[in-house]
Amino acid sequence: MWKRKPLVAAGLVVALAAGGGVTALASHAEGVPASAPLVSAVPRPDHVVVVLFENKAYNQIMGSSQAPYFNSLASQGAKFTQSFARTHPSQPNYIALFSGTRQDVSDDSCPHSFPSEVNLGSQLIAAGLTFKGYSEGLPSTGYTGCSSGKYKRKHNPWVNFGNVPAASNVAFSTFPTDYTKLPTVSFVIPDMCSDMHDCSIGTGDTWLKSKLDAYAQWAKTHNSLLIVTFDEDNQSSVNQIATLFVGQRVKRGSYSEQINHYSVLRTIEDAYGLTPINNAATATPITDVWS
């Protein structure tokens, strides 16, 4: 069973209004907030696996015949109907999800270097937990190049941080088949075709089913959590994306609270008793989906 821990939570998160364009969420300060005064609880899984896809709006995925597996997975867990990315283009969203701020990155340029800035990976390691990022097409462990075939560093945020060891930057081909061997938190990054960036929605849908359905089904009966989300939508001002949680302690259903990348980061941090960092400190953790 998952354990619940009383944790420091956040003040009200300011979000995007669906259909209403960019609101206060997009202009929320990217600096470090002063405090996080509320109290909440998130269950503690043995593992979290976060999978990111590319550049599709919520309505392009949810309810779409092009994404049958995504919709099947949504029916097996929690579907967030008001989930939003932070900005455009891709790279600052990945960095925001991983570190609670865009680190002043506003484009897809490469490389960037943040020698000591705190991030989810460094937090986990400092707490005696484990982190790995699994990138499809990564040519070698610890690879720092900007591009190799269909692999792009811009979608791999941890490689930018000097306090995340090279051994945590690995190829998706090494993703465990014995799921009890998973790190505490994993990020999974499909390549530029599998993530729907360069190929069709159907291609990404098939990839997710073939590569991770076995884990998704296992997570539903074990102490594990799968998070599937997108970096951004299709360049609209609304920036609404699909986000799904699937796992043993996830209550099935649709949830309408507004969430964003900082909410997801905050939820993971709360699960492991980590101090919320940067804008995650004022994001509201997701607490209503747990059984």
pTM: 0.87
Using one digit for the tens of pLDDT, what is the confidence trace for 86-111?
999 999 999 999 999 999 999 999 99
* Residue 240 domain boundaries: 45-105+115-282
User: Could you give the CA distance from residue 97 to residue 86 in angstroms, rounded to a whole number?
Assistant: 9
Q: Which of 14, 42, 83 is nearest to 289 (CA)?
A: 42
Q: Is the residue at 58 inside a domain? A: yes
Selection from 8-22, 36-50, 129-143 with the highest mean pLDDT: 129-143
Which has the higher per-residue pLDDT, 26 or 242?
A: 242
Q: Is the residue at 31 inside a domain? A: no
230 — pLDDT class (breaks 50, 70, 90):
very high
Q: Is the residue at 267 inside a domain? A: yes
Q: Is the residue at 10 inside a domain? A: no
Q: Is the residue at 136 inside a domain? A: yes
Residue 112 confidence (pLDDT) above 60 = yes
Burial class (CB in 10 A: 0-12, 13-18, 19+), 169: buried
Arithmetic mean of pLDDT, 55-84: 99
Q: Is the residue at 18 inside a domain? A: no
Which has the higher per-residue pLDDT, 7 or 97?
A: 97
Using one digit for the tens of pLDDT, what is the confidence trace for 51-64?
999 999 999 999 99
- Across-strand partners of 47? 224
Question: Which DSSP string do the residues of 33-60 spell out, in sequence order?
Answer: -S----EEEEEE-SEEEEEEE-S--HHH
φ/ψ (deg, to 5) at 150: -90, 0
The reported pLDDT for the residue numbered 86 is 97
CATH code, domain carrying 266: 3.40.720.10
Phi-psi region of 115 (alpha: psi -120 to 50; beta: other; left: phi over 0): alpha
**Both tokens of residue 213?**
């359905």
Number of domains within the chain:
1
Q: Is the residue at 211 inside a domain? A: yes
Which has the higher per-residue pLDDT, 16 or 188?
A: 188
Q: Is the residue at 290 inside a domain? A: no
Residue 132 confidence (pLDDT) above 50 = yes
The reported pLDDT for the residue numbered 13 is 31
Residue holding tokens 């945020």? 157
